[in-house]
Structure 1
Amino acid sequence: MSRKTTLPVALIQERAVIDQGAGNADANLSVIEARVAEAAKQGARLVLLQELHNGAYFCQHESVDEFDLAEPIPGPSTERLAALAKQHKVVLVSSLFERRAAGLYHNTGVVFDADGSTAGKYRKMHIPDDPGFYEKFYFTPGDIGFKPIDTSVGRLGLLVCWDQWYPEAARLMALAGADLLLYPTAIGWDPTDVDDEKKRQRDAWILSHRGHAVANGLPVLSCNRVGHEPSPIGASGIDFWGNSHVLGPQGEFLAEAGTDPTILSCEVDLGRSEHVRRIWPFLRDRRIDAYGDLLKRYID
């Protein structure tokens, strides 16, 4: 078995500070600063934030005014987050609404290394368009591809929320040498859904992450937001269900949060993936000669 390499991690599961609709970036970043400081004090070396953490989940409706929330990268938020990473000597994984050019916007994860430098970024590849999640109106699909980001704590396979339903995305990150998979997330249910449907949705979400961990022999970190966020157009809004979690390379729970704001901390043994992949050599047994049809939309 390979040498044990323990990485203390923390996931900041938080309720958005909402002010005048979409939220106040300064107020939300202030909360993040306090939480990261606490996580670092507890020993965390890698800190994962939730998707679009600067404010409310504004994609519940389609409004051109919401584009005012977007920022360039680098920009004001990245400067503040970089300083935070450097101050506490943590690798910090953020999630921002990126203004790339006039009329061109992305849902972008940015990773800051422990010295405050920008280690890399990932632009969300899979963009949903469902009731209450109108992201195609706001975000252009990513064009960076599935490339892990090298940091002082390892190679991070960063993906974002809706990417979590696609085994191809996790697999490509694994094939490119990711040491672990990370998913900043904003997922919840319609409060008018019946309890059975709510449970099915949450169970499916967790199961998808466990599948990625098992199929690729990698730890998985998923950080979700919590709390009810009202709809700007009078619909029922979204109850974000939290349940952030850290999984080991066989899909086992290393840590799991509930439905309240919390700092979810645990230690991840990065060396264990080597052992798991030796007893379950899925990468070895892949029939890469027979997968050409995966490039088709559908096999008629």
Structure 2
Amino acid sequence: MSKLNAALIQHRCSSDLTSNLEKSLTLIQQAAQQGAKLIVLQELHRSLYFCQQENTDYFDLAETIPGPSTDTLGSIAQQLGIVIVASLFEKRATGVYHNTAVVIDTDGAIAGKYRKMHIPDDPGFYEKFYFTPGDLGFTPIKTSIGTLGVLVCWDQWFPEAARLMAMAGAQMLIYPTAIGWDPRDDKAEQERQRQAWITIQRSHAIANGIPVLSVNRVGHEANPNSTEAGIDFWGTSFATGPQGEILAQANQSDETITLVELDLLRSENIRRIWPYFRDRRIDAYHDLNKILRD
């Protein structure tokens, strides 16, 4: 397959899990009707972003994989003949939970999953309380439409993760995301943060010569702790080509389907012209294994 039509779905979430999933399913159907064969959902699309505070009750949101959500998504993937990348709160065992992206192939079966490797722990993003770091490594997932390098949100700031996925044969990088502003930051700082987020992912496309798909949520989500400001998710779901060129981009506020046509053969041509993999000096990179230099 040389050309691939993909759809990036960004939307608001509420405390109603059923309503959130139904919204995702409706947008999936609309995207498929518009010709999308790969559909990517945002991070933790079934619920509000519950990591704004540490609360053991939120572990009740977790589910097994396979489980109810993968059964539902598998059914619609098979019905429409599409591949879906979904982001779920995985219950692996009692007391062991992961932030997991799961890939559903066109036959409705689970093609593979990726457990988020880099887990943040910052004000409003207390993910270390909920998620055990991933143990599946940076392994691309083979599907009927191509080999997908799926990562999750905070992973997108680490060039090592992107490089390892690309080296293992990923034809594209995919980042389900939940990132936004602290409403108390001024507008200039907010825009610096958003542009940094776009720039780092464009750089992964350039450094590895493959497309990048990044899908974020939108809307304000209040912090249950009323003394905190909550998060304004900034949307801006986007896709780049292998030189970091923006192919499609959503706005910062609307629930939307962003369609993009990917030329998968273009990566071959770009890598011939920009042979970063050929000129890597792996003999001189040993210090990357150190925590910090003295």
Determine whether 1:39 maps to 2:31: yes
Distance 1:227 1:39 in 2: 21
Structure 1 CA distance, aligned partners of 2:16 and 2:59? 14
Q: CA deviation at 1:266?
A: 1.3
RMSD across aligned positions (CA): 0.7
User: Given the alignment of the two structures, is residue 12 of structure 1 paired with residue 9 of structure 2, yes or no?
Assistant: yes
Superposed CA offset, 1:198-242 (max 9, x none): 011000000011000000001000000000000011110000000
2:257 counterpart (257, 263, 269): 263
Q: Report SS of the residue matched to 1:92.
A: strand
**What are the Cα deviations for residues 153-196 of structure 1, in whole angstroms up to 9, with x where unaligned?**
10000000000000000000000000000000000000110011
Identity over aligned residues, as a percent? 63
Equivalent of 2:99, from 104, 107, 131?
107
Within 2, Cα distance between the matches of 1:266 and 1:282?
Answer: 26
CA shift, 1:299, in A, is: 1.3
Equivalent residue for 1:181? 173
How does 1:157-236 map onto structure 2 within 5 Å? 157-234=149-226, 235-236=228-229
Question: C-alpha separation between the residues in 1 aligned to 2:80 and 2:125?
Answer: 34
Which amino acid in structure 2 is aligned with residue 290 of structure 1? A
Residue 155 of structure 2 corresponds to residue 155 of structure 1: no
Query: Partners of 2:64 and 2:164 in 1: how far apart?
Result: 28
Mapped to 2, the partners of 1:28 and 1:85 lie a distance apart of: 18
The letter for the 2-side match of 1:186 is: A
Q: Which residue of 1 aligns with 2:237?
A: 244
Q: 2:52 aligns with which of 60, 65, 68?
A: 60
CA positional deviation for 1:25: 1.9
Q: Secondary structure at the match of 1:96?
A: strand
Structure 1 length-normalised TM: 0.96
Cα distance in 2 for partners of 1:86, 1:172 equals 30
- 1:84, distance to aligned residue in structure 2 (A): 1.4
For residues 262-281 of structure 1, the aligned pairs below 5 Å read: 262-281=256-275
Tell me the amino acid that sits aligned with residue 299 of structure 1: R
Measured against aligned partners, the alpha-carbon deviations of 1:65-90 in whole angstroms (never above 9, x if no partner) come to 00000001111111111111111111
SS at match of 2:125: coil
TM-score when normalising by structure 2: 0.98
Structure 2 residue runs of 5 or longer lacking an equivalent are none
- The corresponding residue for 1:127 is 119
The alignment partner of 1:264 has SS state of strand
CA drift of 1:24 comes to 2.1
| Aligned partner of residue 103 in structure 2, secondary structure | strand
Q: Which amino acid aligns with 1:208?
A: I
The corresponding residue for 2:70 is 78
Offset at 1:38? 0.4
Give 5+ residue unaligned stretches, structure 1: none
The yes-or-no answer on 1:49 pairing with 2:41 is: yes
**Which digits, 9 at most, give the CA deviation of each residue in 1:61-117, with x for residues without a partner?**
000000000001111111111111111111000000000011100000000001101
Match of 1:25 in 2: 17
Q: Does 1:299 align with 2:293?
A: yes
Equivalent position SS for 1:110: strand
